[in-house]
Amino acid sequence: MPNEPSRFYRWELLLLLFCAYFLHQADRAIFGVLLPSIKSELGLSDTQLGLTASVLFLVLAVMVPVAGFLGDYWSKKKIIISSLIFWSIATMFTGFARGLGGLILFRSVATGGGESFYGPASTALIAAYHEKTRAIALSIHQASLYIGIMCSGFLAGYVAESFGWRFAFYLFGGFGVLLGFVFIFRLHDVPKTESVQKEKIPPLQAVLILIRIPTALLLTVGFTAIVFVNNAYLTWMPTYIKVKFTLTQTEAGGYSMFYHHLAALIGVLAGGLLADAMVLRFPRFRLLLQSTTMLLGVPLIFMMGIADSLAVMWTTIFLFGSMRGLYESNTHAAIFDVVPSQLRSTVVGLMIMTAFLFGSFSPLLLGWLGDIYGTENGLAFGFQVLSFAWFLGGCCILVSFLFTFNKDLLKNKTKQQ
């Protein structure tokens, strides 16, 4: 491979990673869509199904800091390719599961372990190639998450009703393996100018540096709140709507994913473009956007638990999605503003670890409430409780906007110089 790809390669890179992240999130989302079929065939309880999702997120939380440290030391290209092929094979094997043990082994442990290595390396690689277009590039990459989940909602539901839920895992996993072979020939590592930059920072020293940056800690709390609600939504919203409004599996899974993630797609692209333009004159704009959207999203999450008609539910889901998208347009761009460039992969790993460590409990919590109060009432109450997570996260980012960001930004610029 040549050391210096063409000047247009940064956009080819974005397209390649867009496709990988599409499958990364589609593979994760199809489990929630297929829950009714899996539950019926394997005879599992809501708590057991919630446990399966929670173990996946817990595995992600444990493995992703390792992925983050390795992403700043090893070849990002090799990490991304290995991750993609491994999680895709694990997704295919999920279709062979015959009980709770098989689901946890293939779906939670193997798939979660493989997926954990993708995020830190991919976001750091995009940041390396997109210095002046960082927010919009990361927003486009984030958009593949929403498109993947929107498409998987309908496709997985249709495949399950037509060919059985197992075939959906074979299909999505197979596409991932094929894409992995494309990456072997087309993916480049970091630009030459980046690969010969500052000295590497040992893991323990890196952690000590990052925990002394207040803005990074507050942004991590905000992201944790986002993930806590997202994990519960992906796992249980299709089932909640199916039971509450007596819809088919395809309708409930498809529309609950489509309306939410269509709005998030619009929000993330709009937020990325707006932030890249505004931060030149107002560096704290990313945090203002994030704190505002989280606080506006609080009543929307609560409303999902009490909506009494499909029209109200779809409208609430759409508006909630737009708030999520506006926030996530700057998830990584905001924290990259205040941490050293050689710690980008590490900070993403630690950020994701914290978020998924706490976020792994939300699917289990809602499944437990479903078994106690009945699926419909338990999930309704669960979504009302989830709204408080966004309130806490929004307040933390607001504190950073008001008190810590300018100091941390100045310190980081001084170190980079």
Residue type, 120: P
**How far is Cα 218 from Cα 210, in angstroms, rounded to an integer?**
11
Instruction: Tell me the pTM.
Output: 0.81
Most confident of 247-256, 315-324, 404-413: 315-324
**Radius of gyration from C-alpha coordinates of the chain:** 20
241: left (phi over 0), alpha (psi -120 to 50) or beta: alpha
**How far is Cα 411 from Cα 266, in angstroms, rounded to an integer?**
34
Alpha helix segments (H runs only) across 1-75: 9-42, 46-71
The mean pLDDT of 16-27, rounded to a whole number, is 92
Q: At a CB cut-off of 8 Å and minimum separation 6, what does 201 contact? A: 72, 209, 340, 342, 343, 346
pLDDT at 182 over 80: yes
pLDDT at 196 over 80: no
**How far is Cα 77 from Cα 356, in angstroms, rounded to an integer?**
24
Q: What is the pLDDT of residues 345-371, one digit of tens each?
A: 899 889 989 998 899 899 999 999 999
pLDDT of 250: 84
How many C-beta atoms surround the C-beta of residue 3 within 10 A? 9
Percent of the chain exceeding pLDDT 90 equals 67
As given in the structure block, the two tokens for residue 286 are 């990313």
pLDDT of 198: 54
Token look-up 């919009």 returns: 136
Write the burial class of residue 416 (CB in 10 Å: 0-12 exposed, 13-18 middle, 19+ buried).
exposed
pLDDT at 75 over 70: yes
Please, which pLDDT band fits residue 114 given cuts at 50, 70 and 90?
very high
Percent of the chain exceeding pLDDT 70 equals 95
The mean pLDDT of 325-343, rounded to a whole number, is 92
As given in the structure block, the two tokens for residue 251 are 């309708």
Largest CA distance in the chain: 61
Question: What is the overall mean pLDDT for the chain?
Answer: 90
pLDDT at 2 over 80: no
Please, which pLDDT band fits residue 267 given cuts at 50, 70 and 90?
very high
The mean pLDDT of 206-210, rounded to a whole number, is 90
Distance of CA 361 to the CA centre of its chain: 16
**How far is Cα 162 from Cα 126, in angstroms, rounded to an integer?**
38
pLDDT of 157: 83
Please list the helix, strand and coil fractions of the chain in percent, rounded to the nearest 5, in that order: 85, 0, 15
Distance of CA 107 to the CA centre of its chain: 17
Q: What is the pLDDT of residues 44-66, one digit of tens each?
A: 999 999 999 889 988 988 899 99
Please, which pLDDT band fits residue 193 given cuts at 50, 70 and 90?
low
Task: Tell which residue, 62, 71, 109, has the closest CA to residue 194.
Answer: 71
pLDDT at 381 over 70: yes
The mean pLDDT of 212-234, rounded to a whole number, is 96
**How far is Cα 114 from Cα 86, in angstroms, rounded to an integer?**
6
More confident of the two residues 197 and 126: 126
How many C-beta atoms surround the C-beta of residue 235 within 10 A? 27
Token look-up 């997570």 returns: 389
Domains of the chain in sequence order: 18-416 (1.20.1250.20)
pLDDT of 1: 39
Q: At a CB cut-off of 8 Å and minimum separation 6, what does 216 contact? A: 210, 335, 338, 339, 347, 351, 408
User: Cα torsion for 51, 56, 58, 59, to the nearest 10°?
Assistant: 140
Is the Cα dihedral 396, 402, 403, 408 positive or negative? positive
